Each structure stands twice: as structure tokens, then as C-alpha cells.
């Protein structure tokens, strides 16, 4: 403990760690108010009617939802065993494993580069990147607090982080080959089966890493990790094949217009990737500047906590590589939507790109701060940097306060949902099978489908809920 707070540098980092871990705990707590919405009802209806394995086998014929996404179906079924509690715990577990995986991954990178940053620095960088990836999610509610949104788009991020943490682990410590290769392959296969966007990003980053290992095959880290990276890549590609091979895929593709040609597709992909990155930065310039500045200051303060001094050319090369790879990986996550719909993916799906974007420029900021600090030798530099860093935390505190402000809204939605669920069940017990209940407006959380008040577009949600509850009709009217 004395080492943790041995200087003002680590004290400033400790303040940030408390702040951002508190923010992550808060957004995890908001998951307590999770309930079933939209597609959840269709999965639940099939799980109720067909059972767990019957629904998983729906990969070959169910068209009510994206049944080709086998991991989405699998984990929807597993969470459904816990009922509402399953979706309540879902967000907290996702955040916990996201932070844990990122900490292990960055810790392995720290060990491989021999920079030897303190654990508190690694954990702080992890907390900042994960917290802001969540806080700035293009559609927070659908990406974190809706089962059919979290699983296909946020879960692949969590699985992907763990896949790379496992791939790098043999370069850091001795590992048993077969168990590690098996676990890595299983996680890569499951992580690639949640959605096309998640699979594309995972496959792309694994392919890049395998190529890097081949280029630097004389390095010890490359020789140690290449076999596991190849296993993960093959598993991810296999998951892609399973996604494509489903008989329901042709049905889904038939709902869209013809895809762009081979020459038009790269142009559209580059355009939409640039559009996302540029608009992201321009829409929230202050926020992204604060995040960049915070991690730059953390990197600068960390320079005095390690004896390692990388060359300027090495740092510049690393920054350039991170920038190029970030753009390429964001593009990979957009590739399925650009190919199928000729547009950016739905907002909920962009959390993958948002994480890659913040991770990319966050690491660039940290490396820039670390490198620049080595050229400044003023005696009071660290003291000034620590004070400025603490001032930058004010934006983080403001962001956490905004998240805390969501509690009353989420709590009210959950309360109304619970009352409505009880009303439907009691009406059924009384023999009332055509039920009129209160609607819950999704506009307050950015939009999410709920029951309709009459038959028409969107009534499919009602139909799925009808099958789930075992009644004849459900109609919902907004107050």
C-alpha cells in the first residue's frame, strides 16, 4: 500500500482510479433496472415454447430474429434461465469482465515492452478507456441495458479483449499449451458468433496480429504467441462461416437491396469510416480533447515511475501504427453493414467502433505523454502535471453525475414494467386473454420498441409477447 501512494504521481492516479471505477460501478448498477424489450420477447417466446436446445436448433429455420447469430441465441437462453434477474446481472458481468480483460491485456503489453508501469497506472488507463467507451456509446441504452443489444455488439468487445489477453499470455508466463489453446479457440469462436460486425472486427484484428507475428517471427513474443493467434483466427473464421451458412441468412439478405459492387464497396467503406471518426470528434470535441488530455497526462506522470526510455523513433512508429490499425479495425466493424445496407450500422452496433476509436487515440495519448515528458526536466513538472490531471478529472466527475441522473428514469421504467408484467399474468389467471396495458415510451432512453396500441408495423413485438405469456392479444396505450 505504501508503494501505491509513494508519490504525488500515484496519488493523482489513485484519485482518478476511484472516480472512474465509481463511474463503472454506477453504470453497472443501472443494469438492475434491465427488463425485456423488443426482440427479447421473441427469444423468450421460443425459449418458453421450444425449450433451450430447441431454440438453439432454430439456427436452421427461425426467421423472427437473427437466428444465425448462434452465440446471441445461446447466451440469450442461458440468461433466460435466470429470468429477469439474468438481464439485471448481465450488464454488471459484462463491465466486470471487460475491465478485467482489458487490465490483463494491457498488463501483458506492459510486461512485453518491459516498461514496468505500476499496476495502478495500468488499471487507471483501463478504467478511463472502458468508462468513456460506455459513457459515449452512440446508443447507451440499447448497447448496455437491452439483452438483444448488449449480446450482439458489446459482448464481442468483451470476448475479443479476453481472446487477446489469452493470446499474449504465453509471452509473459509459461502456460499449458492444450488448455490455453482450447480456451482461446472457444472464446474466439463464441465471440465471433454474436454478430457479423463483432466477427469482422475480431477476425481483422487477429489477422493483423498473425501477420505481425510472421513479420517479427524471430522475436520471442512472436514465436510464443503465434500458435495461439492462429488458433483464435481459425476459430473466428469458422464462426464467420457458421454465421453465413445458416439457411436463414438468405432470407435476411433478401430483405435488402443488392450489395455494392467490388469497386464501390471499398469507397463506401472508407467514406463511412471517415464519416464516423470525423463526426464523432466534431460532435464532441471538448469531451474527446479531455479524454486525450487525461491519458496524455497519465502517460507523462508515468514516465517518472519507470526507468525504461524508448527511443523517439520507436514511439513515433508505435503511434503511427496504432492510428492506421484503429482506422482499419473500425472499418472492419462497419464492413458487414456497408456491404449489406450501404450505410453505417445501427447506433447500438457502433459501440464496437467507439471502443476501438477511444482505445486507439487513448493509447496514442498515453504514449505521447510518456515520450514528451522525457524531454522536460523542470524540477516541478510532475507537481504541475498532477494538479492539471486532477483538474481534468472534473469532466469525468461531471460525466459520472450525468450517469447518476439516469437512475430515476430507469427506475420508473422498471417499476411500470413490473406492474404491467403482474397485470398481464393476473389477467391470464382470471381468464382474460385479450389484455390492454400501459405502454412504456422508449423515447426517453433514446428509443426502443415496446408494445403497440394496435395492429400494424411494429406489432411483431406484441405477437412475441403474446406467445411468451400464452394469451390471445396484448395492446398497450401510452398514458
Are the C-beta atoms of residues 177 and 64 closer than 8 Å to each other?
Answer: no
Are 256 and 304 found together in one domain?
yes
What is residue 3's predicted lDDT score, i.e. its pLDDT? Answer: 43
Average pLDDT over residues 322-347: 93
Lowest mean pLDDT among 125-139, 142-156, 161-175, 295-309: 295-309
Return the C-alpha cell found at 25: 460501478
How many domains is the chain partitioned into structurally? 2
Contacts with 368 (C-beta within 8 Å, 6 or more apart), sequence order:
296, 299, 315, 319
More confident residue, 115 or 305: 115
**Average pLDDT in the chain:** 91
Percentage of the residues of the chain whose pLDDT score is greater than 70: 95
How far is 212 from 229, CA to CA, in rounded Å?
11
Whether residue 473 is predicted with pLDDT greater than 90 in this model: the reply is yes
- The residue range of the domain holding 250 is 1-413
Q: How far apart, in Å, are the Cα atoms of 179 and each of 101, 184, 185?
A: 18, 8, 10
Q: Cell 472516480 identifies what position? A: 19
Average pLDDT over residues 370-377: 77
Are 270 and 311 found together in one domain?
yes
Return the C-alpha cell found at 212: 505481425
Are 372 and 445 found together in one domain?
no
Whether residue 453 is predicted with pLDDT greater than 90 in this model: the reply is no
- Residue 29's closest CA among 159, 148, 145, 156? 145
Helices (H) and strands (E) in the chain, counts: 19, 2
Contacts with 345 (C-beta within 8 Å, 6 or more apart), sequence order:
197, 333, 334, 336, 337
Q: How far apart, in Å, are the Cα atoms of 404 and each of 58, 81, 141?
A: 40, 30, 14
Average pLDDT over residues 57-71: 87
Band (pLDDT 50/70/90 cuts) for residue 177 is confident
Whether residue 312 is predicted with pLDDT greater than 90 in this model: the reply is no
Secondary-structure percent of the chain, ordered helix, strand, coil, rounded to 5 = 75, 0, 20
Band (pLDDT 50/70/90 cuts) for residue 362 is very high
What is residue 6's predicted lDDT score, i.e. its pLDDT? Answer: 43
Contacts with 189 (C-beta within 8 Å, 6 or more apart), sequence order:
235, 236, 238, 239
Percentage of the residues of the chain whose pLDDT score is greater than 90: 72
Are the C-beta atoms of residues 75 and 132 closer than 8 Å to each other?
Answer: no
What is residue 113's predicted lDDT score, i.e. its pLDDT? Answer: 84
Band (pLDDT 50/70/90 cuts) for residue 2 is very low
Are 408 and 428 found together in one domain?
no
Whether residue 8 is predicted with pLDDT greater than 90 in this model: the reply is no
Chain segment 229-275, per-residue pLDDT in tens: 999 999 999 999 999 998 888 777 777 778 888 889 999 999 999 99
pTM of the model: 0.93
Q: How far apart, in Å, are the Cα atoms of 124 and each of 92, 117, 294?
A: 19, 11, 11
- Residue 475's closest CA among 415, 432, 418, 442? 432
Classify each residue of 314-353 as buried b or exposed e, where b means 16 or more C-beta atoms within 10 Å of its C-beta: ebeebbeebeebbbebbbbbbbbbbbbebebbbbbbbbbb
Classify each residue of 233-251 as buried b or exposed e, where b means 16 or more C-beta atoms within 10 Å of its C-beta: bebbbebbebbeebebeee
How far is 201 from 352, CA to CA, in rounded Å?
8
What is residue 1's predicted lDDT score, i.e. its pLDDT? Answer: 39
Return the C-alpha cell found at 418: 413490473
Are 440 and 370 found together in one domain?
no
How far is 92 from 32, CA to CA, in rounded Å?
9
**Which of 389, 413, 437 is a domain's end point?**
413
Q: DSSP class of residue 303?
A: G
3-state secondary structure of 382: helix
Are 283 and 321 found together in one domain?
yes
What is residue 5's predicted lDDT score, i.e. its pLDDT? Answer: 39
Whether residue 4 is predicted with pLDDT greater than 60 in this model: the reply is no
Are 161 and 211 found together in one domain?
yes
**Which of 396, 413, 430 is a domain's end point?**
413
Band (pLDDT 50/70/90 cuts) for residue 55 is very high
Residues found in the chain: 479
Whether residue 155 is predicted with pLDDT greater than 70 in this model: the reply is yes
Average pLDDT over residues 121-150: 97
Band (pLDDT 50/70/90 cuts) for residue 204 is very high
What is residue 378's predicted lDDT score, i.e. its pLDDT? Answer: 64
Average pLDDT over residues 282-301: 94
Are 154 and 270 found together in one domain?
yes
Average pLDDT over residues 339-362: 94
Lowest mean pLDDT among 114-123, 248-257, 395-404: 248-257
How far is 370 from 118, CA to CA, in rounded Å?
14
Average pLDDT over residues 383-407: 94
Are 183 and 250 found together in one domain?
yes
Are 338 and 463 found together in one domain?
no
Burial environment of residue 438 by CB neighbours within 10 A (0 to 12, 13 to 18, 19 or more): middle
Q: How far apart, in Å, are the Cα atoms of 215 and each of 209, 221, 382?
A: 10, 12, 39
How far is 110 from 456, CA to CA, in rounded Å?
56
What is residue 213's predicted lDDT score, i.e. its pLDDT? Answer: 94
Give the rounded distance of the alpha carbon of 164 from its chain centre. Answer: 15
Whether residue 300 is predicted with pLDDT greater than 80 in this model: the reply is yes
Are 250 and 314 found together in one domain?
yes
Are the C-beta atoms of residues 188 and 177 closer than 8 Å to each other?
Answer: no
Are 327 and 365 found together in one domain?
yes
Return the C-alpha cell found at 393: 478529472
Q: Cell 493509447 identifies what position? A: 363
Band (pLDDT 50/70/90 cuts) for residue 286 is very high
How far is 302 from 312, CA to CA, in rounded Å?
16
Whether residue 302 is predicted with pLDDT greater than 60 in this model: the reply is yes
**Which of 395, 413, 431 is a domain's end point?**
413
How far is 9 from 177, CA to CA, in rounded Å?
39
Are the C-beta atoms of residues 252 and 61 closer than 8 Å to each other?
Answer: no
Average pLDDT over residues 54-74: 89
Amino acid at each position: 500500500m505504501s508503494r501505491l501512494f509513494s508519490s504525488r504521481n500515484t496519488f493523482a492516479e489513485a484519485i482518478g482510479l476511484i472516480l472512474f471505477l465509481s463511474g463503472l460501478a454506477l453504470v453497472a448498477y443501472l443494469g438492475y433496472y434491465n427488463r425485456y424489450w423488443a426482440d427479447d420477447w421473441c427469444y423468450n417466446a421460443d425459449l418458453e415454447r421450444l425449450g433451450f436446445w430447441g431454440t438453439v436448433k432454430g439456427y436452421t429455420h427461425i426467421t423472427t430474429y437473427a437466428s444465425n447469430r448462434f452465440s446471441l441465441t445461446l447466451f440469450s437462453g442461458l440468461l433466460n434461465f435466470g429470468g429477469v434477474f439474468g438481464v439485471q446481472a448481465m450488464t454488471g458481468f459484462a463491465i466486470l469482465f471487460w475491465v478485467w480483460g482489458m487490465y490483463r491485456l494491457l498488463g501483458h503489453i506492459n510486461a512485453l515492452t518491459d516498461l514496468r508501469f505500476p499496476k495502478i497506472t495500468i488499471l487507471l488507463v483501463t478504467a478511463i478507456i472502458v468508462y468513456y467507451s460506455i459513457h459515449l456509446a452512440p446508443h447507451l441504452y440499447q448497447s448496455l441495458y437491452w439483452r438483444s443489444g448488449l449480446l450482439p455488439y458489446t459482448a464481442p468487445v468483451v470476448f475479443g479483449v479476453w481472446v487477446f489477453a489469452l493470446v499474449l499470455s504465453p509471452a509473459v508466463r509459461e502456460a499449458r499449451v492444450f488448455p490455453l489453446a482450447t480456451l482461446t479457440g472457444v472464446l474466439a469462436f463464441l465471440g465471433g458468433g454474436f454478430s457479423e460486425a463483432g466477427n469482422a472486427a475480431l477476425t481483422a484484428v487477429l489477422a493483423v496480429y498473425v501477420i505481425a507475428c510472421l513479420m517479427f517471427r524471430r522475436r520471442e513474443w512472436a514465436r510464443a504467441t503465434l500458435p495461439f493467434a492462429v488458433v483464435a483466427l481459425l476459430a473466428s473464421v469458422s464462426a464467420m462461416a457458421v454465421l453465413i451458412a445458416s439457411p436463414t441468412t438468405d432470407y435476411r439478405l433478401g430483405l435488402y437491396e443488392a450489395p455494392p459492387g467490388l469497386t464501390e464497396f471499398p469507397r463506401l467503406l472508407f467514406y463511412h469510416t471517415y464519416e464516423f471518426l470525423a463526426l464523432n470528434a466534431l460532435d464532441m470535441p471538448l469531451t474527446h480533447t479531455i479524454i486525450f488530455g487525461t491519458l496524455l497526462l497519465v502517460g507523462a506522470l508515468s514516465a517518472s515511475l519507470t526507468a525504461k526510455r524508448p527511443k523517439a523513433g520507436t514511439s513515433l512508429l508505435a503511434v503511427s501504427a496504432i492510428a492506421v490499425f484503429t482506422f482499419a479495425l473500425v472499418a472492419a466493424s462497419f464492413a458487414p453493414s456497408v456491404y449489406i445496407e450501404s450505410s453505417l450500422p445501427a447506433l447500438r452496433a457502433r459501440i464496437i467502433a467507439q471502443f476501438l476509436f477511444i482505445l486507439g487515440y487513448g493509447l496514442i495519448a498515453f504514449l505521447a505523454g510518456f515520450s514528451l515528458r522525457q524531454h522536460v526536466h523542470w524540477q516541478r513538472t510532475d507537481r504541475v502535471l498532477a494538479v492539471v490531471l486532477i483538474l481534468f478529472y472534473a469532466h469525468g466527475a461531471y460525466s459520472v453525475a450525468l450517469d447518476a441522473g439516469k437512475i430515476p428514469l430507469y427506475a420508473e421504467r422498471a417499476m411500470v414494467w413490473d406492474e404491467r408484467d403482474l397485470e398481464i399474468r393476473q389477467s391470464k389467471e382470471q381468464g382474460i386473454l385479450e389484455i390492454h396495458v400501459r405502454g412504456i415510451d422508449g423515447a426517453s432512453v433514446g428509443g426502443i420498441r415496446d408494445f403497440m396500441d394496435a395492429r400494424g408495423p411494429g406489432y411483431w413485438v406484441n405477437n412475441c409477447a403474446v406467445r411468451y405469456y400464452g394469451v390471445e392479444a396484448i395492446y398497450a396505450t401510452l398514458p
